[in-house]
Structure 1
Amino acid sequence: MSTTDDSYSVPQNPDNLTQVSLKEKWWHILDTWKIGIIPLPLFVLAGLLIAVDCLGGKLPSDIVVMVATLAFFGFACGEFGKRLPVIGKMGAAAICATFIPSALVHYGLLPDVVVESTTKFYKSTNILYLYICCIIVGSIMSMNRTTLIQGFLRIFFPMLCGEVVGMVVGMGVGLALGMEPFQIFFFLILPIMAGGVGEGAIPLSIGYATLLHMDQGVALGRILPIVMLGSLTAIIIAGSLNQLGKRYPHLTGEGELMPGKNTQAAGPLTAAFSGKTDVTTIASGALLAVLLYMLGMLGHKLIGLPAPVGMLFIAVFIKLVHGVSPRLLEGSQVVYKFFQTSVTYPILFAVGVSITPWEELVHAFTFTNLLVIVSTVSALVTTGFFVGKKIGMHPIDVAIVSCCQSGQGGTGDVAILTAGNRMSLMPFAQIATRIGGAINVSLALLFLGNFLV
């Protein structure tokens, strides 16, 4: 249970406690004792109301009820992860918010009505994309223009070096364990770097079904657990990198890739929280993110570019040409901060319930698979760290972006950046996941079709 600072406090001297009114004591409880961001009394009330609905046999899947449901379970799992000894500081909150729900579903410990309503809500609303577009647009609008340009131009080199080294190391470990080269590369290494599920595992399974004459379901069943294990490894590494940054501050920009002025903690972002940004400006910032994503969807229909990537490029262009006013920038930044602090764990819970198969993850937990996966991801991230440092970037932040090359798509990026406490790196994470994954899948299938089959 977390505590927060507030504008008043109950006197610490026991002799003075009697002087504090009951009203102030209640306010103190509401403002101090929290599960995630939820005041403890409201958390208890939410749990009771959800229990009443579950006992009645129906939990509505409308947005009003689901906001309370996802917040209750998401922040409960996240708070549990934060309080675990040692690993609580290494990304356990994001891991627990995603994989505890998956395990609860598999073992039948989560009420069926909660599972059904959560799955229906998640798949019918595509709320993950609302989350991603607000995070991407807000983080881009928070960046300094010079830093933005330099970061996008330089990030590709450590990403490329990391993938090459990761593939070589993973292949070497697999061969040392006596595994077949074909199986190592196409069913272990490539799924790790494929860019997630929708953009990676599914296209790979379709390609394998066609080229290798195997059932697509069988192919997907072999690929998907590897994607999940790669993402889990990346989450743990990102959490460890965050702790490394706290111990050695000179190695990190705390969410900035390039050394220089603090472009996010100061300047416009501070102004956004100074009380000068009105509600209409914040609403406009949210609408800007949604409209840019719709433009990304249009680009996907016309040229096939993934909608989040298209939106990312459009947002960068608008930022570089001063296409929006400073007040609208502030509104976007407030929206970004809201989604970062308030929506992350509920989203991860929904992901765990709806699209994270626990049984497949457990089946892939073999000793040889784990060694190849951990060595591949570790080599990729380590290379990103040292290459980033060599070319004048903050090595820890570059390494966390490199972690996203092994992520489970957009959901993996959210979990990895949450564990690494670097949500402002979401634009670069999307490049690593979407573009990097698409290139890897395309080249691998092209090679497989022309040279091996």
Structure 2
Amino acid sequence: MLTNEETSFFKDKKQRKQLKVEKSKEKLDRYEAKQIQILEKQILETQAKFEKSNEKLDNKHQAKIAKLTANNADPKVIEEVKNYFINRKAYLNEGVEVALKNLSLAKQDLIDGLASAHENNIRINLTTIDYKISKINYKRSWKNLEKEADFSQYKGKEKQEKVRTAQKELFASGDMLWKPMGLRWEDYCLSLKNRWELWKSNTQIKIHQCSQWSFKEWVNLKIWTIPLWMYLSFVGILVATILTGIVEANMIYGPAILLTIAIISGVIFSKIPIWKKYFGGAVMGSMFVGAFLVYFGVISNPGKLAGVEWNVGHHVYASVEAWFKNQDFLSLYISVLLVGAVLLIPRKMIIKATGGFFVLILAGTLLGVALGLVGSLMTGMSVKNLILYYALPILCDGNGGGIQPIGKIAEKFGYDNELWVTRALAISTLASIMSVIAAAVINGVGKAKPSLSGNGKLMLHDIHTVDRSAKANDHTIASALLMILMIYMLSDLFEKAIFTEERIKILVPNFAWMIIICLLLNLFNVIPTDMKLSAEKINKFISKQTTWLLMVGVGIIYIHLDEFIKALNPEALFISFLFVLGATVGPMLFAKMFKFNAVESAVSAGLCMTAQGGSGAIAVLGASERMNLMPFGQITCRIAGSMILIFAAIAFAQWPPEGNEIVTNLGGVL
């Protein structure tokens, strides 16, 4: 369907692009040869260093054994010395094997990355031309078909069906590269319908199976791995202790109450499809259950009801508050998350992030704040409200590693912790939902404009590493827990005794110091591998098995539902949208400069920043069909998001609390 002039134009263009691809391939080949030469040199140097160390160790071993033999030493001592040198040699061998494996992986990453870059060049420069030709051919063919078929003789649904059938036939008869929006939308709706039908049929099958169960099978039904009869027994015990008034404010009753509520609420909300995907699933559901229990007076804060006689709801609140707030389980949870998140990110990934990737994160953050400022001028919002109640909640590391520690920082500057956390969670949830939707949109942009996408590849080549073999056992897990507690104590020491506000003229909170300490420990590689693995186990246990419990506690202690609902207004929608828009566009503007792909940059460096922590980042990566970017998403939401804690201290110092923001001695607000 192309004219002779158009055919000639596209042919010339394709030839020019082909030359461009070939020149690019030559550059990539030269770069590959140079980098492989460097890596091979490093491999030879590593092997030479190992041989030298091995020889030195053998000489030392022989000299020691000869000396002991000459001095008629006890044979047991000689045997122990031999075993010592054997272990030293095994450790040295493992070290060189790990080093050589990492260099081999780096070599393979380089080759794979450059091959991917070449494929990307072909797709951007050549495939896009075929795509444009396909689009022109289809549109012109469709115009001719419309004239011939005369669809105007049909009306309503019949006309729609005739048009759609003709479009499908025309698409199938062509090269099938460019697909009109109507057909793509129909495919999307069909996929939704198929998923719905599958879910419905699976549900019907499950219901039918349940209807056939015996009483024994029903009572042994498992909720969160707990048989139903056992869980109901736990509920009965809990209700009995509450009704008899023996509930005490200690660290036994508090977690028991929270975990019992969290199990049923988490299980229910994790099964609701739309809520699970867009509204935070079990995590946010558990928080709302806790908040509603307080809102409807089932549980109530006795500290805010002077002169009122205590009831069972007051005892429950006091018990939860004692463990969750007064005994500070929240600080333990945050510490485990922060230490584990930073220590477990590969060193090479952190080093890479200190370059161009952090620039992308910064670009998205700054543009988001800039657009937020424009929005605040349009709506009349103060800069203080914009920064404290929008920028900090949206850009921090979700709830556990961001909003909760910032709430504690706010409290140190005289703000009401509960009020700030309530507002912050509302805005963070709103921005996270928008981020997931934006991720799906940007995925569509990548498909429509292949030149902006790397098909899941963020940069030229990936980073893979291996470490020394190690296993976590009971002792190393206990040691890792001690390490986490000591890092918390050291950060407290820095905040309250060494780098105090009086000395450095700014309050740097202990959680910010924890991030700095862990970054340095990771970069200098001073933590043994077995302790890192143990910290990972503690991190997984705390983050996966106590997050529902934590969120029920947050809902009970910190969330004021009426304030939460007030925070979700048209102004909040508009400002949150501007932050998400800025975080999306910012990285895309600088991606090419630092040899990153635009779509992947927007997803990993932008939207993972505005999403709600690790779970929000997973939702964003899932919606964008780029789960392989998880390590970079974790750098964004964990490290960059955690850095917001430092800026939070500066922001709260800059703007003292006013009016109802001020906390009173009784725990209420003025």
Q: Same fold (TM over 0.5)?
A: yes
Percent of aligned pairs with the same amino acid:
20
Amino acid across the alignment from 1:82? S
Aligned to 1:166: 368
Query: CA contact under 8 A between 2:342 and 2:638: conserved in structure 1?
Result: yes
Counterpart residue number, 2:425: 228
Give 2:244's aligned residue.
56
Match of 2:604 in 1: 397
Distance in 2, Cα, partners of 1:149 & 1:67: 40
Q: d(CA) in 1 for partners of 2:389 and 2:566?
A: 16
Q: Distance in 1 between matches of 2:343 and 2:455?
A: 24
SS at match of 2:298: coil
User: Cα deviations across residues 90-120 of structure 1 (Å, max 9, x unaligned)?
Assistant: 2232221223311221121344433221122
Structure-2 change in CA distance of 1:138 and 1:175 (3 Å):
closer
Task: Report the counterpart of residue 335 of structure 2 in structure 1.
Answer: 133
Which residue of structure 2 aligns with residue 108 of structure 1? Answer: 297
370-379 or 355-364: which moved more? 370-379
Distance 1:120 1:233, change over 3 A: same
What residue number does 1:45 align with? 233
Maintained 8 Å contact 2:609/2:641: no
Answer yes or no: is 1:294 the counterpart of 2:497.
no
Residue 245 of structure 1 deviates from its aligned partner by: 11
Instruction: Measure, in 1, the Cα distance between the counterparts of 2:285 and 2:348.
Output: 37
Which segments of 5 or more consecutive residues in structure 1 lack a partner in the other structure? 1-13, 15-21, 208-215, 405-411, 446-453
Change in Cα spacing, 1:202 to 1:431, as seen in structure 2 (3 Å) is: closer
Secondary structure at the aligned position of 1:47 is classed as helix
Instruction: Report SS of the residue matched to 1:347.
Output: helix
Residue equivalent to 2:114: none
**Distance apart, 1:432 and its partner CA:** 4.0
418-427 vs 140-149, greater mean Cα deviation: 418-427
Whole-Å separation in 1 of the counterparts to 2:240 and 2:441 = 45
- Alignment RMSD: 4.2
Quick check: 1:73 aligned with 2:268? no
1:309 positional shift: 1.6
- Assess if the C-alpha contact under 8 Å between 2:419 and 2:558 holds in 1: no
Counterpart for residue 96 of structure 1: 285
Gaps of 5+ in 2: 1-208, 210-215, 300-312, 394-402, 447-452, 500-506, 622-629, 657-670
For residues 227 and 58 of structure 1, the distance between their equivalents in structure 2, rounded to whole angstroms, comes to: 35
| 1:317 lines up with 2:520 in the alignment | yes
1:374 Cα deviation from its structure 2 partner: 2.6
The aligned counterpart of 2:557 is 354
Contact kept? 1:61, 1:118, Cα under 8 Å: yes
Tell me by how many angstroms 1:150 deviates: 2.2
Q: Are 2:390 and 2:424, in contact at CA under 8 Å, matched by a contact in 1?
A: yes
Contact 1:191 1:200 (C-alpha < 8 Å) held by counterparts: no
Distance (whole Å) between structure 2 residues aligned to residue 53 and residue 95 of structure 1? 28
| Corresponding letter in the other structure for 1:403 | T
Query: Per-residue CA shift, 1:277-327, capped at 9, x if unaligned?
Result: 211111111111111111111111122321112112112212222212221
User: Which amino acid in structure 2 is aligned with residue 89 of structure 1?
Assistant: K
Aligned to 2:646: 435
1:10 paired residue number: none
Q: Deviations over 1:42-73 (max 9, x none)?
A: 43333222111121124233223333222222
Q: Which residue of 2 aligns with 1:342?
A: 545
CA distance in 2, matches of 1:84, 1:365: 22
1:283 aligned residue (460, 478, 502): 478
Aligned in 2, Cα 1:260/1:397: closer, same or farther, shift over 3 Å?
A: same
Structure 2 SS opposite 1:63: coil
Q: 1:308 aligns with which of 511, 515, 527?
A: 511
Cα pair 2:294 2:556 within 8 Å, conserved: yes
- How far, CA to CA, are the matches of 2:329 and 2:564 in structure 1? 24
Contact in 1 for aligned 2:266/2:282 (Cα 8 Å): yes
How far apart are 1:340 and its partner, in Å?
A: 1.8
User: Is 1:191 the equivalent of 2:389?
Assistant: yes
- 8 Å contact from structure 1 (residues 238, 403) kept in 2: yes
Offset at 1:252? 6.4
Contact 1:97/1:348 (<8 A) preserved = yes
Residues 38 and 440 of structure 1: is their aligned pair in 2 closer, same or farther, counting only changes over 3 Å?
A: farther
2-side partners of 1:387 and 1:125: how far apart? Answer: 47
User: Which TM-score applies when normalising by structure 2?
Assistant: 0.50
In structure 2, relative to structure 1, the CA distance for the partners of 1:56 and 1:374 (3 Å cut) is same
**Pair 245,312 (structure 1): closer, same or farther in 2 beyond 3 Å:** farther
Q: 1:314 to 1:432 in 2, by over 3 A?
A: closer
Would you say 1:381 and 2:578 are equivalent positions?
A: no
Specify the alignment match of 1:121 in structure 2. Answer: 323
Question: Secondary structure of the equivalent of 1:108?
Answer: coil
Question: Conserved in 2, the CA contact under 8 Å of 1:169 and 1:376?
Answer: yes
Which segment is superposed worse, 321-330 or 413-422?
A: 413-422
Equivalences for 1:12-27 in 2 at 5 Å? none
Measured in 2, the distance between the counterparts of 1:118 and 1:222 equals 18
Look up the SS of the partner of 2:430 in the other structure.
Answer: helix
**1:342 is matched by which residue type in structure 2?**
Q
Q: SS of the counterpart of 2:383?
A: helix
> How many correspondences in the alignment?
389
Distance in 1, matches of 2:530 and 2:408, equals 41
8 Å CA contact 2:241, 2:247 repeated in 1: yes
Deviation string for 1:368-418 (max 9, x for gaps)?
Answer: x233333233224324663685543854333354226xxxxxxx7577568
Deviations 1:128-181 (A, max 9, x none): 1211211222223322111122225555434433343223433444555xx32x
SS in structure 2 at match of 1:86: helix
8 Å Cα contact 1:188-1:223 kept in structure 2: no
Q: Distance in 2 between matches of 1:364 and 1:138?
A: 32
Which position in structure 1 is the counterpart of 2:44?
none
- Residue 17 (structure 1) aligns with: none
For 2:426, the aligned partner's letter is L
